[in-house]
Amino acid sequence: MPATPAFDAAGEETLRDILNAHRDLEGPLLPILHAVQEAFGHVPQEALPIIAQDLNISRAEAHGVMSFYHDFRENPAGRTVLKLCRAEACQSVGADALADRTREKLGIDWHDTTADGAITLEPVFCLGLCACGPAAMVNGKLVGRADAAKLDKILEGAR
């Protein structure tokens, strides 16, 4: 997995701007986490204690919220982010086997990135494409009726 880049002074300034823009919202933590991920591509570990202190909540609480939502990542993503639906409708048409095969082929588990930084694999729970499962998303684009051949092609193109 790629190392988390340094959270330097410029990064902290960006975080302070985000906090200033969001702290007065009702329930500011989620919008702040989204904005941080948007700005950095992930939520740097160093950001969480600063966010927690700013909002006067514990680090554990901030971390708990972040890990509850699968969209937030602690490490930078690969160039291609492949999300595979793990919800029921997709499971009923073979999503589990497809996910097992994909993890084995990439040699990584959920939330991990291949060593070459090419592909990050993430689970997702319903993409609204239930009638065309198994569903996937590749860098934000939906893929319906995903199968081994389709995913192989996508993964080859990502490298």
Q: Which of 74, 101, 126, 150 binds ligand FES (CB under 6 A)?
A: 126
Residue from the set 29, 133, 154, 158 that interacts with ligand FES by CB under 6 A: 133
123 bridge partner residues: 84
**128 DSSP assignment:** S
Among residues 32, 129, 151, 154, the one that binds ligand FES under rule CB under 6 A: 129
Phi, psi of 64 (to 5 degrees): -60, -45
Instruction: Answer yes or no whether residue 89 interacts with ligand FES by CB under 6 A.
Output: yes
Of 8-16, 31-39, 112-120, 125-133, the segment contacting ligand FES by CB under 6 A is 125-133
Task: Report DSSP letters for 80-105, one per residue.
Answer: EEEEEE-SHHHHTTTHHHHHHHHHHH
Identity of the residue, 12 or 96, whose beta carbon is nearer to ligand FES in the bound complex: 96
Distance CA 156, CA 6 (A): 31
Q: Which residues of this protein are in contact with ligand FES, per CB under 6 A? A: 85, 87-90, 126-130, 133, 135
